[in-house]
Amino acid sequence: MEKKFAVPPVVFPSGGGSGPTTSASPNLLQRRVPTAPFQPPPPTPSSSAIPFLSFDIGNAGASSSTIYSGNLHSSFSAASFDEEEPLLDELGIHPEQIWRKTRSILNPFRVNTAVHLHNSDLSGPILLYLSLCLFQLLSGKIQFGIVLGWIVVSSIFLYVVFNMIAGKNGRLNLHSCTSIIGYCMLPIVVLSAISLFIPQGNLVLFVAAGVLVMWATRVSTILMVALADGEEEHRGLVAYACFLIYTMFSLLVVF
């Protein structure tokens, strides 16, 4: 015996159909035409305006404030950049001070000790060391490592000797000692420049080496004694130590 099930009629929603209604069933619409999936919805009249012609007042105000703050920041940064110190001053290199100290050594009979007492630097000595190595390189001698090693050893040697002589009154530090030895290396640099024009082994070169060594010894002794006030009685011992140091560098240039 067959059993029948009551199936309710299918009623489609009204409106929006693409086809016309039939006369037989006015309440039912024709079947809609299927559309492709993932398609954007059709444009509405309110969204049909051109996007780039729509202006947002809030965004315009924010952008103008951003531009104004950027200009203000750039003006402040430019003002702070103008107030900064020069690069040489930040690195501790003072060309005027180097020139004054170098000029004070040019006259061995009238040494200006005031410029060396409170401002000891290493920028001038490094410049003189490089000049000495450059003149030696022009004469065919590559001695950068030798000169640097001898400078370190001679500075430590003079520092130890002077403080042993002075005892408890020794106020000379290694930085000041290296600065004085470096600035007094100017006569040896002059000797290295002269050796480029005089043949090696010539008597004139030996005489020039002796005179310039005495010049460097006298200037360094005056500066060392002036740096440690009250050590006049040890001038001869300090002069002997300085004489050994500059004789060693002169032999490096002559031979």
Domain extents in the chain:
95-254
Reported as a single tens digit per residue, the pLDDT across 69-78 is 555 455 545 5
Q: How much is the average pLDDT of 88-105? A: 82
Identify whether the C-beta of residue 191 lies closer than 8 Å to the C-beta of residue 250: yes
Q: For residue 191, which of 113, 123, 99, 128 has the smallest C-alpha distance?
A: 128
Q: How much is the average pLDDT of 144-153? A: 92
Tokens 């060396």 sit on residue: 116
In this structure, what DSSP letter does residue 143 have?
A: -
pTM check: above 0.85: no
Which pLDDT band holds residue 7 (cuts at 50, 70, 90)? low
Q: Which stretches of the chain are DSSP H helices?
A: 57-83, 87-90, 95-105, 114-117, 123-138, 144-166, 174-183, 186-194, 203-227, 235-254
Q: Cα separation of 182 and 208, whole Å?
A: 20
Q: For residue 190, which of 112, 109, 250 has the smallest C-alpha distance?
A: 250
Q: Cα separation of 58 and 21, whole Å?
A: 50
How many Cβ atoms from other residues are within 10 Å of residue 124's Cβ? 23
pLDDT in the model for residue 93: 77
Tokens 């430590």 sit on residue: 156
Reported as a single tens digit per residue, the pLDDT across 117-130 is 777 888 899 999 99
Q: For residue 218, which of 183, 196, 242, 190 has the smallest C-alpha distance?
A: 242
